[in-house]
Chains A and B, each alone.
Chain A
């Protein structure tokens, strides 16, 4: 460059007007705008536009421009990025190159390819041929020796610049061609780049992605194709079922806690006979007291000796202290028989109903039983003796402050349905991702 560098505050892209931030010092010849990909020639007195990049696809560098890091003991700043490619058997193979700069030590390159990363710097020491002659002509050679290390030839190809961003110390241009020859010795690399005007040698070494990531504080790289054993479906599916187990245990602990707190007191118990053809079956019990400091659930349990018939009990808990009544119905049916020499049974001779939030106090129980063998209860027949023979016995018990374990069952059912719903969503999402992946 023949003229002094203007200040960063005044230098703007000639195409879009975005400000340039020069990081590479006085040797920067070309700067490619990060916003519009237009290249400005900094060696030109008028800072003319070299090109406007028209392709819509932008390539995002793994190391953002302006990133600083310490690599192999050197503090470096990423000032340029380019994508290059070679053609082999009709197929293009691409890689990325990052231009790093240290004001005291000069330039370095980080090359990101399919085989990983390598750290490269231009070398001014020319390699020698096996017979010790300095190599000044264009490669390739079967083997070369550089600084005491013998390198063997790997490959030669013509590389093309496909994309450029940031600052460069030469007149880079999209479409620019250079003949590359690579040599290798273990982890060490030696490359020759032949352009129209020069042969440039550079030496480098393999470097791990982890070291690059740590040096420039890059985020962890997510795998593009997760292994089958830990597919997103399996991980999220397992997490869902584990969460179901955890919440189920919590619900169980809650219910056990409430169960331990409840007193389950028997506050009433009385036994009766159900007679056929009774004129009036309903009755009201003597008062009984439900004790406690707060309202609680009350279970009314009816145990019968019915067989091969149904029995229904209208039950009402009438408060003597207020105008509240709790009304419910217990439905019982029990059938047995012998078929092919085997006894069978269906239904249960017992049933219960729960009244919730019953406050302590004095109550009476209203009981109205009915029974039958068909769809309707057997009605009173004034033509028959009343009452007739006994059909069955029944006992009514009232237990206050009970814990309803069925609530835990309902909660677990709801939790299971919720888990199934989320699991279905995960499967559908993973199927959609699998179909979308090329």
Chain B
């Protein structure tokens, strides 16, 4: 039982860290080094997801 409680405690600590620091299960990316030119002209930004192809079976 001691091992169980230790692992459960670690899980709770992980949960607390995720809440405090912020962690999202969503597929997102944090990009660094976005050039000034893009920030000055945001319309020139192209998403990293531009290659993403949505598939839907449809009805």
On chain B, the number of residues with a Cβ less than 8 Å from chain A's Cβ atoms is 45
Report A-chain residues with C-beta under 8 Å of the C-beta of B33: 323
Report A-chain residues with C-beta under 8 Å of the C-beta of B25: 404, 406-407, 410
Partner of B56, one of A240, A255, A375: A375
Beyond A326-B28, A346-B59, is A366–B42 a contact (Cβ under 8 Å)? yes
Rounded to whole angstroms, the CA-CA distance of A236 and B3 in the bound complex is 13
Rounded to whole angstroms, the CA-CA distance of A4 and B34 in the bound complex is 102
Instruction: Give, as a whole number of angstroms, the nearest-CB distance from B26 to chain A.
Output: 5
* Category for how many chain A residues contact B: 35 or more
Instruction: Give, as a whole number of angstroms, the nearest-CB distance from A313 to chain B.
Output: 9
The answer, yes or no, to whether A303 is at the interface (CB within 8 Å) is no
Contact yes or no, B42 A407, CB < 8 A: no
Partner of A415, one of B11, B45, B49, B55: B11
Beyond A254-B16, A258-B19, A323-B39, is A312–B52 a contact (Cβ under 8 Å)? yes
Partner-binding segment picked from A90-98, A213-221, A328-336: A328-336
Contact yes or no, B58 A366, CB < 8 A: no
Rounded to whole angstroms, the CA-CA distance of A243 and B32 in the bound complex is 43
Report A-chain residues with C-beta under 8 Å of the C-beta of B20: 258
Contact yes or no, A243 B18, CB < 8 A: no
Partner-binding segment picked from A177-185, A197-205, A352-360: A352-360
Beyond A297-B22, A328-B49, is A411–B54 a contact (Cβ under 8 Å)? no
Instruction: Give, as a whole number of angstroms, the nearest-CB distance from B18 to chain A.
Output: 5
Report B-chain residues with C-beta under 8 Å of the C-beta of A250: 12
Contact yes or no, B24 A297, CB < 8 A: yes
The answer, yes or no, to whether A109 is at the interface (CB within 8 Å) is no
Report B-chain residues with C-beta under 8 Å of the C-beta of A295: 21-22
Beyond A328-B49, A375-B56, is A254–B15 a contact (Cβ under 8 Å)? yes
Rounded to whole angstroms, the CA-CA distance of A255 and B11 in the bound complex is 13
Contact yes or no, B32 A354, CB < 8 A: no
As a 0/1 sequence over residues 4 to 47 of chain B, the CB contacts with chain A under 8 angstroms (1 = contact) are 11011001101110111111111111111111101100110101
Partner of B42, one of A255, A318, A410: A318
Rounded to whole angstroms, the CA-CA distance of A255 and B14 in the bound complex is 12
Q: Pick from B14, B33, B55 the residue with the most CB of A within 10 Å.
A: B55
Beyond A243-B1, A318-B42, A374-B58, is A323–B35 a contact (Cβ under 8 Å)? yes
Q: Which residue of B lies closest to A320 (CB)?
A: B39
Q: Which residue of B lies closest to A401 (CB)?
A: B22
Report A-chain residues with C-beta under 8 Å of the C-beta of B26: 328, 352-355
Rounded to whole angstroms, the CA-CA distance of A353 and B26 in the bound complex is 6
Rounded to whole angstroms, the CA-CA distance of A357 and B30 in the bound complex is 10
Report B-chain residues with C-beta under 8 Å of the C-beta of A329: 27, 47, 49, 52
Contact yes or no, B59 A323, CB < 8 A: no
Report A-chain residues with C-beta under 8 Å of the C-beta of B1: 236, 239-240, 243
Report A-chain residues with C-beta under 8 Å of the C-beta of B14: 411
Rounded to whole angstroms, the CA-CA distance of A316 and B31 in the bound complex is 10
Contact yes or no, B8 A243, CB < 8 A: yes
Rounded to whole angstroms, the CA-CA distance of A354 and B29 in the bound complex is 10
The answer, yes or no, to whether A337 is at the interface (CB within 8 Å) is yes
Q: Which residue of B lies closest to A250 (CB)?
A: B12
As a 0/1 sequence over residues 388 to 417 of chain A, the CB contacts with chain B under 8 angstroms (1 = contact) are 000000000000000110111011001100
Rounded to whole angstroms, the CA-CA distance of A1 and B24 in the bound complex is 89
Contact yes or no, B56 A333, CB < 8 A: yes
Beyond A310-B58, A375-B56, is A296–B12 a contact (Cβ under 8 Å)? no
Report A-chain residues with C-beta under 8 Å of the C-beta of B16: 254, 258
Report A-chain residues with C-beta under 8 Å of the C-beta of B54: 310, 312, 331, 370, 372, 375, 377
Closest 7 CB pairs of A and B: A356-B22, A357-B22, A314-B47, A284-B42, A354-B24, A328-B28, A258-B19
| Complex A-B: 28 CB contacts under 8 Å | A236-B1, A251-B12, A254-B16, A295-B21, A309-B58, A314-B49, A318-B39, A319-B39, A324-B30, A325-B31, A325-B34, A326-B31, A327-B28, A327-B49, A328-B26, A328-B27, A328-B49, A337-B59, A355-B30, A358-B22, A366-B47, A368-B50, A372-B56, A375-B55, A406-B25, A408-B15, A418-B8, A419-B4
- A interface residues, Cβ below 8 angstroms from B: 236, 239-240, 243, 247, 250-251, 254-255, 258, 282-284, 295-297, 308-310, 312, 314-316, 318-320, 323-329, 331, 333, 335, 337, 346, 352-358, 364, 366, 368, 370, 372-377, 403-404, 406-408, 410-411, 414-415, 418-419, 422
Known: A247-B11, A318-B42. 6 other contacts (CB 8 A): A315-B47, A325-B31, A326-B28, A329-B47, A333-B56, A352-B26
